[in-house]
A and B are shown apart, each in its own frame.
Chain A
Amino acid sequence: MTSPATLTATAPARPARAPGSVLALVVLGTGCLLPFAGASPLLLSLLVQAIIGAMLATGVGFLVRQNGMVSFGHALFFGLGGYVLGVPMAHGLLPPEMAVLLALLVPALLAFLLGLVITRIPGVAFSMLSLACAQTFYEVVLKVRTLANGDDGMSVTFPARLFGLDVGLLQDPRSMYLICWVLLAAVLVGLWLFTRSPYGLLTLAIRSNEERARFIGYETVVPRAAVYALSAGVAGLAGVLATFYNGFISPDMMHWTLSGSALVMAVIGGTRAVWGPALGAVVFFFFKEIVGDATEHWPAVIGITLIVVTLCAPAGLSGLLARLFARRAA
């Protein structure tokens, strides 16, 4: 790394990175100002749902980016966050704070244990297994009515304060919007730091060539399961936020269509950048709102858009933006 050739060759990357972080701060700051700039509660409420979707998509996309694995079942962890929070809360099984902590931990923990087995299986087989796992849990929450009223779902009421904080803040569109926005930013920064860490590099190497990783002396199953757990933890957090905001849980939270939408968002946004799926989710969400108002055939429009995006920009919107930026900087 000391040779002059290395130094000159890495130099051009520098100026491009600085605007990147400046841009990120500008986006974050602008987002924070929105509620104070006269955005209506309706818009803010929509944005809350969009950001929660963005978080779920971020989890799905992160798994693709870091593990090379396409999950068709991430709604499992989203729903699990909701149910582990909501069920004990409604039945008074646990101290409420304990339920919150468990809801944040259980999805990641389950994914880690599952991951030790299923992340060994490559390609489409993994996707199918992730779908099968999710559908199993879906059937359970659907059929076991004593849990949460089966397919009717169940409304969840929370104590007025949790951890000394006013729970009302999580149900008011203004404050919840800010909380979700900042949490999403924190998740993205956290995941980005992970990708930059030595462990993140190892997981990328395993994605790139698992056999060689073993032949340079690394164990590969635990890192794979760890990435799966991390991505599930993010999905679980999204589920917890959704449950707080809506005050309601239902099997739909675990349905495969939700897993599917999250995947579509990730593809539209592109998974090469950690923030790509989140961008894809926001675009998806508003696209759906606008097109949904115009025609009831919005899924078809989304489908066509997806085809166009994958054909014209295989790296997704984030890839497109990165390319534009690189050209500007050059």
Chain B
Amino acid sequence: MTLPAIEGRALSRTYGGFRALDGVDLKVARGEVRGIIGPNGAGKSTLMDVLTGRAASRGGTVLLGGRDISALAPRARQRAGLARSFQKTNVFLDLTVGEQIRLAGRCATLDNGEEVLVALGLAEIAHRPAADISYGDRRRLDLALALVGRPQVLLLDEPAAGLTVEESLAMADLLKDLARRWHVTVLLVEHDMEVVFGICDRITVLHLGRLLAEGTPAEIRSDPRVISAYLGTAA
């Protein structure tokens, strides 16, 4: 088997004695779209934070394409090909859309800023400050910032949060399309089950900071533990 695009071994994180993430193992193959689901507080965002170095891991190893990146700062992990978007929109409000995409492009080995602007339908509002654009546009800008440079692995924390049903389905189609075209490995945290089951190759379920189940959408849908812990209540 070839090396996984990204791998986490025994990832843990505590917040003042509380185990937000507790010994989670994760292996995602190249080109795979992996869904991460679980109830509120399950540790999904914490997993993203530990993988990208936003939160220091308290134990565990992160491997990107087989290379141990556990000791690297977020910036260095980004440069190594690991990009992310955020659950709470995290863009540069004082800069125009175009300026921030250009800025991201300058830092990347491959500057595909223009391509990303067009792909995400942001070209028309490139001249506008991010503070003045709609919430939906800001969500797409957050995603766009992560896509500049064509990362090998893309971590998306609820990219469709707060979007309308049509918007989130459009976002899902877009993601699937981009992942295929650019051969990006995607880890997608999402509460919208229609989106997750629609575009993910495999799904990981977290519960109380631990790994509850992992499998194909069909396996997850029929897993009794998942149904009782999550799907039963979310559906």
Contacts and interface: CB of A to CB of B under 8 A. Distances in A.
A5 B79 CA distance: 33
Interface string A220-235: 0000000000000000
Nearest to A205: B92
Interface SS of chain A: helix
Contacts of A2: 123
Interface string A4-25: 0110011000000000000000
Given A198-B106, A216-B107, A1 B95 contact: no
Nearest to A209: B92
Contacts of B83: 215-216
Contact of B107 (A5, A6, A218): A218
A38 interface: no
B107 A9 contact: no
A211 interface: yes
Nearest to B106: A198
A201 B99 contact: yes
B197 to A, nearest CB: 29
Contacts of A5: 124
Nearest to B101: A216
Chain A interface category by residue count:
20 to 34
B151 to A, nearest CB: 10
B103 A205 contact: yes
B78 A209 contact: no
Contacts of B74: 214-215
Contact of A3 (B52, B124, B145): B124
B94 A214 contact: no
Interface residues of B, number: 34
A194 to B, nearest CB: 15
A207 interface: yes
A295 interface: no
B144 to A, nearest CB: 11
B50 to A, nearest CB: 14
B133 interface: no
Contacts of B73: 214
B103 A215 contact: no
A110 interface: no
Contacts of B54: 211, 215
- Which residue, A207, A216, A218, has most C-beta atoms of chain B within 10 A? A216
Interface string A195-218: 000100110110111011111111
Interface in B31-62: 52, 54
A313 B104 CA distance: 34
B202 interface: no
A215 B52 contact: yes
A170 to B, nearest CB: 40
B104 A204 contact: no
A216 B95 contact: no
Given A216-B103, A217-B108, A218-B75, A204 B126 contact: no
A211 B106 contact: no
B216 interface: no
Given A1-B126, A5-B124, A198-B106, A216 B90 contact: no
Given A205-B94, A213-B92, 17 more contacts: A201-B103, A205-B92, A205-B99, A205-B103, A209-B91, A214-B74, A214-B78, A215-B54, A215-B74, A215-B83, A216-B104, A216-B145, A217-B79, A217-B108, A218-B75, A218-B103, A219-B75
In the A-B complex, list the 7 residue pairs whose CB atoms are closest, starting with the nearest.
A217-B107, A208-B94, A216-B104, A208-B92, A217-B78, A5-B124, A214-B75
22 contacts: A6-B127, A9-B127, A201-B99, A204-B92, A205-B95, A205-B100, A207-B94, A209-B92, A211-B54, A212-B86, A212-B92, A214-B73, A214-B75, A215-B52, A215-B78, A215-B83, A217-B78, A217-B107, A217-B108, A218-B75, A218-B107, A219-B75
